[in-house]
Chains A and B, each alone.
Chain A
């Protein structure tokens, strides 16, 4: 069937956009880059028989560390029918280049590698919204981790945001990756629940981030 136009201000478009942003954060985010949604410019939905609902989105984003610049992207989010067990299929295309984070990434990598004791931190941001500057990269890496969780666990009836990093612990590794074990609090807007997720993230300046372990409340995934 044809794709029908959706009002960008209504929740179906907003929920699909949150999935796309989560996916993009997982793919392209890092300790030196945090992508944030500014606006849903356009949204359409297509109901595909026996498959599911597919959303076509035009999004305006920004890098929180480079707020003056606008990042435009298009995204497709396919929620599978009976989507209890499978994550939505997501494709995102960023127009133009994202600001390079090579310098910041190298600096962060070297800083963490040279720590005598493993980094441990909690409550990022704190109750008053503060993030100490030296923990901002850890915060942005949490966005990467939460982006993965959000992408993997979203349905048309959910909208997730990272509420807080409850706890983070660095795990020293013998290979070149950095490892951070996070306890993330995710806020789900529709049920209003704030629930903890345990996520282990591996990161390397050249290879980027990947989630190596992810455990949510109730059933694991």
Chain B
């Protein structure tokens, strides 16, 4: 924090135990008495509202030394008063604090949501959001293979273990628009609580858990070494190749079609389900919580909005509802910039793929399980220009909101 400017220092020294009184004059006589008081310069009275007419209240700041004698005078004249400000210094201190915090917010809300950031910068912004909003908390749900913390933002306005929504991004590290969008979305939700009716009613009933960087080791690797890295960075026994596809590692049809058993493959499923700590940490967290109603995950690219299953091509029991909700969400997305998302099951829309996260969540009782593939459709692919981050985040948020509103209405 910076040191206060000269004016604030002056204020600090001067107003300790000064009181501000509101004086009610009943008649002309009372007004005359106050005007007499006003003329006594040694009292150093500071009239905020001067005595002029009987009907109007008179506000006056009284230095500490004069407080007792002024009050005695008013009481002896039968003039009513009330204490507006008990101690002016307290008020000024609080105001200064508010101003400092606001200035800090101004300085650090220089986080540019329309740019790509390093992991360190993202973590700093998570800290900032948690410190700025009382209902936002940064929690750690585990550690990556290379021992980086897995940070989740918990949005909770109260209750204990309310029905909850899960949202993650960046499980595939090269899909940079997803981590970036998650940050924008976090800020959007936090700053709109209390003013946006939908977000307010959502967070008044449910908790939201947001994991913006689900694969931090991979993410750092995309910055330092290989922009196209997708997997985790775990060492695989018996192989020169590194990493497991974290979205083939979930315990849902694990090892089935659409995942590779070759460690060097970008869709390698890993030695066993949940072998990756990044996956296991989320699984454990969600199971321990026990009250998740929705599981939403962000990927790129292709502009798709998908529900289970990936590991098999049969319809989930809730197919009709999920398809309908998916279409409504895609419609919301399209309403902003005309961006079209195709809706369907993973298996039909993109490919059969086993061991995926939303299949696991769905088969574990979390009905509203959706996977988004964000912009674009291949022109830039993973290398989406930064000037598309905020548009992508905004349109995606509309789709997420549509789903969350439905979950809220059905779960609470």
B260, A127: Cβ atoms closer than 8 Å: no
Q: How far is the CA of A125 from the CA of B388 in the complex (A)?
A: 14
- Pairwise interchain contact B348-A125, C-beta atoms closer than 8 A: no
Q: Which residues of B contact A127 (CB under 8 A)?
A: 116, 176, 222-223, 227, 383
B-chain residues with CB within 8 Å of residue A163 when the two chains form the complex:
228, 381-383
Check A192/B267 contact, CB under 8 A, given A10-B349, A128-B116: yes
State which residues 368-400 of B face A: CB under 8 Å.
377-386, 388
Q: A187 vs B174: C-alpha distance in the bound complex, in angstroms? A: 12
Instruction: Check: B343 CB closer than 8 A to any chain A CB.
Output: yes
Interface size on A, residues (CB 8 A): 27
B380 touches A194 (CB 8 A): no
Chain A CB within 10 A, most for which of B266, B302, B340, B378: B378
Does A70 lie at the interface of the complex (its beta carbon under 8 Å from any beta carbon of B)?
no
* A48: Cβ under 8 A from any B Cβ: no
For B172, give the chain A residue with the smallest CB separation. A192
Closest to A36 in B: B379
Cβ of A10: which chain B residues have Cβ within 8 Å of it? 344, 348-349
| Contact across chains for A194 and B266 when beta carbons are under 8 A apart | yes
Contact indicator A129/B349 (Cβ below 8 Å)? no
**Once the chains bind, are B266 and A161 in contact (CB under 8 Å)?**
no
Interface residues in A1-24 by Cβ distance below 8 A to B read 7, 9-11, 18
Please, which residues of chain A bring their CB within 8 A of the CB of B384? 129
How many cross-chain pairs have Cβ atoms below 8 Å apart between A and B? 74
- Rounded to whole angstroms, the CA-CA distance of A28 and B226 in the bound complex is 33
Q: Are A129 and B245 in contact (CB under 8 A)?
A: no
Interface membership of B8, Cβ < 8 A: no
Which of A39, A187, A191 makes the CB contact (< 8 A) with B260?
A: A191
Contact with A along B94-121 (1 / 0, CB 8 A): 0000000000000000000001100000
In the complex the two chains form, is B267's CB within 8 Å of A191's CB? yes
Q: How far is the CA of A125 from the CA of B387 in the complex (A)?
A: 14
In the complex, per-residue mask of A183-214: 1 if CB is within 8 Å of any chain B CB, else 0: 00101011111100000000000000000000
Query: For the complex, is B351 an interface residue (Cβ under 8 Å from A)?
Result: yes
Which of under 10, 10 to 19, 20 to 34, or 35 or more describes the interface residues of B? Answer: 20 to 34
CB nearest neighbor in B for A21: B378
Please judge, given known A-B contacts A185-B228, A190-B351, whether A129 and B385 are in contact too, CB under 8 Å: yes
- CB of B385 within 8 A of CB of A130, answer yes
Q: B residues within 8 A CB of A11?
A: 348-351
Q: Is A66 an interface residue (CB 8 A)?
A: no
A37 beta carbon closer than 8 Å to chain B: yes
A135 interfacial by beta-carbon distance below 8 Å: no
- Cβ of B154 within 8 Å of any chain A Cβ, yes or no, is no
Query: How many angstroms between the C-alpha atoms of A46 and B410 in the bound complex?
Result: 44
What is the interface of chain B mostly: helix, strand, loop, or mixed?
A: loop
Contacts A189-B350, A191-B260, A191-B267 given; does A128 touch B344 at CB 8 Å: no
Of A39, A128, A164, A192, chain B has the most CB atoms within 10 Å of the CB of: A192
The answer for the CA separation of A7 and B382 in the assembled complex, in Å, is 26
Considering the chains assembled together, what is the distance between the CA atoms of A191 and B353 in angstroms? Answer: 10
Known: A127-B116, A129-B385. A161 touches B350 (CB 8 A): no
B228 touches A191 (CB 8 A): no
Question: Are A9 and B351 interface neighbours, CB within 8 A?
Answer: no
* Chain A neighbourhood of B348, CB < 8 A: 7, 10-11
Given contacts A192-B230, A192-B267, A193-B266, contact A187 B344 (CB under 8 A): no
CB of A126 within 8 Å of the partner chain: yes
B174's nearest neighbour on chain A, judged by CB, is A194
User: How long is the Cα–Cα vector from A162 to B376 in the complex, in angstroms?
Assistant: 13
Question: Is B342 interfacial (CB 8 A cutoff)?
Answer: yes
A191 to B340, CA, bound (A): 24
Whether the Cβ atoms of B245 and A192 lie closer than 8 Å is: yes
Contact B349 A191 (CB under 8 A): no
Instruction: Give Cα A7–Cα B348 distance, bound, in whole angstroms.
Output: 10
Complex Cα distance A191/B259, Å? Answer: 8
User: Does chain A have a CB within 8 A of B265?
Assistant: yes
Q: Do A129 and B267 touch (CB < 8 A)?
A: no
- CB–CB B381/A161 < 8 A: yes
Smallest CB separation, B354 vs chain A (Å): 13
* Chain A residues in 8 Å Cβ range of B176: 127
Beta-carbon nearest neighbor of A64 in chain B: B379
Q: How far is the CA of A163 from the CA of B174 in the complex (A)?
A: 11
Q: List B residues 334-354 near A (Cβ within 8 Å).
A: 340, 342-344, 348-351
- Indicate if the CB atoms of B388 and A129 lie closer than 8 Å: yes
Report A11 CB to chain B, min CB distance, Å.
6
User: C-beta contact mask, B170-192 vs A, less than 8 Å → 1, else 0?
Assistant: 00000010000000000000000
* A190 → chain B closest CB, angstroms: 5
Q: Is the CB of A39 within 8 A of B340?
A: yes
Contact flag A9-B228 (CB < 8 Å), given A129-B383, A130-B385, A192-B266: no
CB-contact partner of B265 in A125, A189, A193, under 8 A: A193
CB distance from B25 to the nearest CB of A (A): 68
Closest residue on chain B to residue A39 by CB atoms: B340
Q: Known pairs A130-B386, A189-B302; list 14 more (Cβ under 8 Å).
A: A9-B342, A9-B349, A10-B344, A127-B383, A128-B115, A129-B383, A129-B385, A129-B386, A130-B385, A161-B378, A189-B350, A191-B265, A193-B266, A194-B266
19 examples of A-B residue contacts, CB within 8 angstroms:
A9-B342, A10-B349, A11-B349, A36-B379, A127-B223, A127-B383, A128-B386, A129-B385, A162-B381, A187-B382, A189-B302, A189-B350, A190-B351, A191-B260, A191-B267, A192-B230, A193-B265, A193-B266, A194-B230
B residues with a Cβ closer than 8 A to A are 115-116, 176, 222-223, 227-228, 230, 245, 260, 265-267, 302, 340, 342-344, 348-351, 377-386, 388
